[in-house]
């Protein structure tokens, strides 16, 4: 059985839903939906993520997510 990490958060007045699955050490799928009043927002030009270690021992890693449908963007990696 696989677990999922699901978190909805607000940043700069925009709600974002982040889903990480299967939420294990190693490779995972990272999916982001941008929400407006709980509904998916369409017409987003691009979505990217920045990964940083909390102790700053490794520089940031940037990932550009790919549209998987009209309202969700995803990237697979470790």
| Nearest-angstrom CA–CA distance, 69 and 21 | 17
Gyration radius of the chain's alpha carbons: 13
| Nearest-angstrom CA–CA distance, 40 and 24 | 26
Owning domain of residue 53: 5-77
The pLDDT score that the predictor gives to residue 51 is 86
The pLDDT score that the predictor gives to residue 38 is 63
Over the range 48-60, which residues count as b (16 or more CB within 10 Å of their CB) and which as e? Answer: ebeeeeeeeeeee
Q: Number of structural domains, the chain?
A: 1
The pLDDT score that the predictor gives to residue 70 is 76
**Tens digit of pLDDT at every position of the chain (78 positions):** 569 999 999 887 778 899 999 999 889 999 998 887 766 666 677 888 888 888 888 888 899 999 888 778 999 988
């Amino acid at each position: 059985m696989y677990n999922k990490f699901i978190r909805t958060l607000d940043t700069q007045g925009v709600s974002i839903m982040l889903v990480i699955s299967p939420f294990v050490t190693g490779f995972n799928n990272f999916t982001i939906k941008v929400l407006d009043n709980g509904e998916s927002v369409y017409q987003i030009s691009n979505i990217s993520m920045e990964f940083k270690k909390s102790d700053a021992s490794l520089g940031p890693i940037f990932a550009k997510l790919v549209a998987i449908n009209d309202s969700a963007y995803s990237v697979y990696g470790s």
